[in-house]
Amino acid sequence: MCGIAGIIGNQATPEVISKMLQKQKHRGPDFMDYYIEERNVALGHNRLSIIDLSSNANQPFTSDCGNFVLIFNGEIYNYIEIRNELKFKYSFKTQSDTEVLLNAFIEWGENCLEKLNGMFSFAIWNKKEQTFFAARDRFGVKPFYYFFDQNNFYFASEINTIFEADVIKKSNENVWLKFFSEGSYGLPNETFWESINQLPGGHFLIFKNNKLDIKKWYFFENRVQLLFDRSDKNEEDYITQLLLKAINLRFRADVPVGFNLSGGLDSSTLLALIDQQNIDKSAVEAFTFVCNDERYDELQWVKSMLNDRPFHLNICPLSSSEIPKLSQKMALYQMEPYGGIPTLAYSKIFETASQKGIKVLLDGQGSDEAWAGYDYYLNNNQNVIQGVANSPFKTNVLDSDFANQFSKTIYDKPFEDNLLNLQYRDLFYTKIPRALRFNDRVSMLYGTELREPFLDYDLVEYVFSRPTDFKIKGGVQKWMLRKIAEKFLQQDLVLAPKRPLQTPQREWLSDDLKEWVRTEVEKLYKNNWFNKSELENELNSFFNGNNQSSFHIWQWINTAQLLE
Please enumerate, by residue number, every residue annotated as part of a binding site for L-glutamine: 97
Distance CA 278, CA 268 (A): 18
Distance CA 296, CA 119 (A): 32
Q: Which residues contact 461 (CB under 8 A, 6 or more apart)?
A: 220, 223, 224, 227
Tell me how crowded residue 399 is: count the other CB atoms within 10 A of its CB.
14
Please, are residues 258 and 358 in contact by the beta-carbon 8 Å criterion? yes
Distance CA 241, CA 535 (A): 52
Cα-Cα end-to-end distance for the chain? 31
Query: In the structure, how many helices (H) and strands (E) does the chain have?
Result: 23, 19
Q: Which of 536, 492, 524, 431 is nearest to 140 (CA)?
A: 431
Distance CA 284, CA 311 (A): 6
Helix (H) or strand (E) holding 223: helix 220-227
Radius of gyration of the CA atoms of the chain, in A: 23
Distance CA 503, CA 248 (A): 31
Please, are residues 220 and 428 in contact by the beta-carbon 8 Å criterion? yes
Distance CA 209, CA 383 (A): 44
Known binding-site residue numbers: 97
Say how far residue 371 (Cα) sits from the centre of its chain: 18
Please, are residues 171 and 107 in contact by the beta-carbon 8 Å criterion? no
Q: Which of 2, 112, 291, 316 is catalytic?
A: 2
Helix (H) or strand (E) holding 428: helix 418-428
Helix (H, G, I), strand (E, B) or coil at 174: helix
- 65 counts as catalytic: no
How does DSSP classify residue 283? G
Distance CA 508, CA 504 (A): 6
Pairing of strands 197-198, 61-62: unpaired
Helix (H, G, I), strand (E, B) or coil at 363: coil
Helix (H, G, I), strand (E, B) or coil at 149: coil
- The residues carrying an active-site annotation are 2
